[in-house]
Chain A
Amino acid sequence: MELKQKGEEANVGGFNQLMVAMKWTTAADFDLAAAYETKDGQQGLIYFGELGDLNALPFMQLSGDEGQGDKGGDNEEILRITKLDDMNYVWLLCWDYGKIKDGSGARFKDSDVSLSVMDDKGTTHDVTLDTGDMGNVALIATIDNTSPIGAKLVNDSKAGTLKGLNSLQDLMDIISG
């Protein structure tokens, strides 16, 4: 299933694990990151500086920074989630860390960033970043696991600007803004 436009959502309930692949071919030094909120309200961030753990909270892990150097081509970063039970939300983010450092805008609008989200039964949902917003951080999609019926994947496609990655709250302000 494809979620090409902002606001589109898919019920993806009934899975235990997810593999998220962020792909782009345009020349940009993007990173995949995931912010999360657990069922007991703890918030955290998985990014290239804190890759996470598949076998302990947060039960998610990034493959590492594989799209370095502002190069075009088949760039891809992977996030694996082995257990979603303890999470209320996982926010899937793309940022250009170089631009965050100096507070300038990234080239989201001219990029072809997309997410492919595969569940543990092999069903894949493609999410396209659909925003003309200026910024250096983009919230591409949210995994909303608050419903007892099952999780929902939502194309959120919005961007904001950070100058330095100083606190998780700065990021959460963009997510909730």
Chain B
Amino acid sequence: MAQEGILTDFDSFRFSYESNLLKRIESKYGPVPLRDYAEAQNLLESRRRNLLGDAVEITQDLLPEVHGAYGQCLDLIGGGIGLKGRLFVQQSSEYNASVFASSDRFDVLIHSSLLNDFDIGRLKFVFGHELGHVVFGHSRFPVNDILANINGIPQDAAEMLLRWSRATEISADRIGMLCCGNLGNAACALFQTSSGLKEIDENRILRSFRKQYSDLEYHIKNVGTDNRYFRTHPMIPIRFKALELGSLDIIALRRQAAGFSWKGFQHIDRQIAFLLESLDIRG
């Protein structure tokens, strides 16, 4: 059963590495320019026009189960702050979703392949991930615009921004995990997105991710390449590992179970930050 507004302090749930990287960037290069309110509103309305024109809004009448699942995620995450946002679907065979927010208004877009191929538990992970970007305010930072002009900024600054961008995805994944309620759903959603394969047993997926993470970690730490880690999103096995390590605490928070404490959560968060930073430094 969905609980309303389980999180009252989103910053405590945010991946600490994300906050720390932003502090480091700002202490070294000055404040990151935020998108101003008028620009954000304009972008939102422009995007909405396109969605109303080229996509289809998912309503209770059109797709009750999907709309209901999305509503449960909104209640769980945003019940306390009245989070509201529209959900659209657009035809595409690529597994992808996106969100743009301005203040408390936002629109989520998912591709039709997700609705066709993902079950409700996996869709909740996707919805939660996008809602995570909303509640953590990631749209305020026009990182893609800054990186589009990558030659105009110092390489070190660009790398730090990319590290920050990757860390924001880990924060968003946590909200996805909170919404879908177990590691299996989250891991299967990541696996399906990465591989395109359907109907693989959950335990095989978990074993596959664990092995591939170990291989990737070894490769990053021991094999030199000319390719620096220029990605806005973390590699999928790294996202899995961050979820795997944090999942018990996130589930305990969702269930209000014995064993959850913010102190314990922060302890795990620091371990994940240490792990990701060690990969960032060597990557």
Partners in one complex: yes
**A residues at B contact (CB < 8 Å):** 16-21, 23, 54-55, 63-64, 76, 78, 80, 82-83, 85, 116, 118, 120-122, 124
> How many angstroms from the CA of A16 to the CA of B251 in the assembled complex?
13
| Chain A nearest Cβ from B269, distance in angstroms | 12
Please encode chain B, from 89 to 110, with 1 for each CB lying within 8 Å of some chain A CB and 0 for all others.
0000000000000000000000
Q: Which of B150-207 contact A (CB under 8 A)?
A: 181-184, 203, 206-207
Beyond A20-B259, A121-B182, A121-B251, 19 extra complex contacts between A and B, CB < 8 Å: A16-B183, A17-B244, A17-B247, A19-B259, A21-B258, A54-B245, A55-B241, A55-B245, A55-B271, A63-B267, A76-B261, A78-B264, A80-B248, A85-B207, A116-B258, A118-B251, A120-B247, A122-B252, A122-B255
How far does the alpha carbon of A105 sit from the alpha carbon of B275 in the complex, in Å? 42
Partner of A120, one of B183, B241, B245: B183
Q: A21–B257 Cα gap in the complex (Å)?
A: 9
Q: How far is the CB of A59 from chain B (nearest CB, A)?
A: 10
Bound: A20/B210 CA distance, A: 22
Cα-based distance from A85 to B244 in the complex (angstroms): 14
A54-B245, A80-B248 known; A120 vs B182 contact (CB < 8 Å): yes
Interface status of B254 (Cβ within 8 A of chain A): yes
CB neighbours (8 Å) of A18 from chain B are 248
Are B210 and A124 interface neighbours, CB within 8 A? Answer: no
Given A54-B245, A116-B259, A118-B257: A83 and B264 interface contact (C-beta under 8 Å): no
Given the contacts A55-B245, A120-B184, A121-B181, A78 and B257 also touching, CB distance less than 8 Å: no
* B181: contacting residue among A54, A82, A83, A122, CB under 8 A: A122
B203→A19 contact, CB < 8 A: no
A118 to B261, CA, bound (A): 14
With the chains together, A19 CA to B182 CA distance in Å? 13
A54 touching B271, Cβ below 8 Å: yes
Q: Given the complex, which residues of B lie within 8 Å of A82, measured CB to CB?
A: 244-245, 248
- Residue B252 contacts which of A19, A54, A64 (CB distance < 8 angstroms)? A19
Return A1 CB to nearest CB of chain B, in Å.
Answer: 14
- Pairs across A and B, CB under 8 Å, 19 listed: A16-B184, A16-B203, A16-B206, A17-B183, A17-B248, A19-B248, A19-B251, A54-B271, A55-B271, A63-B267, A76-B259, A76-B261, A82-B244, A82-B245, A83-B210, A118-B255, A120-B182, A122-B182, A124-B255
Give the complex CA separation of A116 and B251 in angstroms.
14
Closest to A53 in B: B271
Chain A's closest residue to B217 (CB) is A55
Assess whether B251 is in contact with A78, with CB atoms less than 8 Å apart: no
A124 touches B257 (CB 8 A): yes
Chain B residues lying within 8 Å of A76, measured Cβ to Cβ, are 258-259, 261
CA distance A99 to B237 in the complex (A): 45
Closest to A79 in B: B259
Could you mark each residue 251-283 of chain B with 1 if its beta carbon is under 8 Å from any beta carbon of chain A, else 0? 110110111010010011001000100000000
Complex: chain B residue closest to A126, CB-CB: B258
- B181 contact set on A, CB distance < 8 A: 121-122
Q: How far is the CB of B275 from chain A (nearest CB, A)?
A: 7
User: Which A residues are CB-close (under 8 A) to B259?
Assistant: 19-21, 76, 78, 116, 118
Contact indicator A118/B252 (Cβ below 8 Å): yes
A122: chain B residues within 8 A (beta carbon): 181-182, 251-252, 254-255, 257
B64 to chain A, nearest CB (A): 25
9 nearest A-B residue pairs (beta carbon): A21-B259, A116-B258, A19-B248, A122-B255, A21-B258, A19-B259, A121-B182, A122-B251, A118-B257
Which residues of the other chain, B, contact A116 by a CB distance below 8 angstroms? 257-259
| B-side contacts of A20, CB under 8 Å | 259
Distance between Cα atoms of A133 and B81 in the complex (Å): 52
Q: State how many angstroms separate the Cβ of A129 from the closest Cβ of chain B.
A: 15
Residues of A within 8 A of B268 (CB): 54, 80
Hey, which chain B residues are within 8 Å of A118, CB to CB? 248, 251-252, 255, 257-259
Q: Determine how close the nearest CB of chain A comes to the CB of B266; give it in whole angstroms.
A: 11
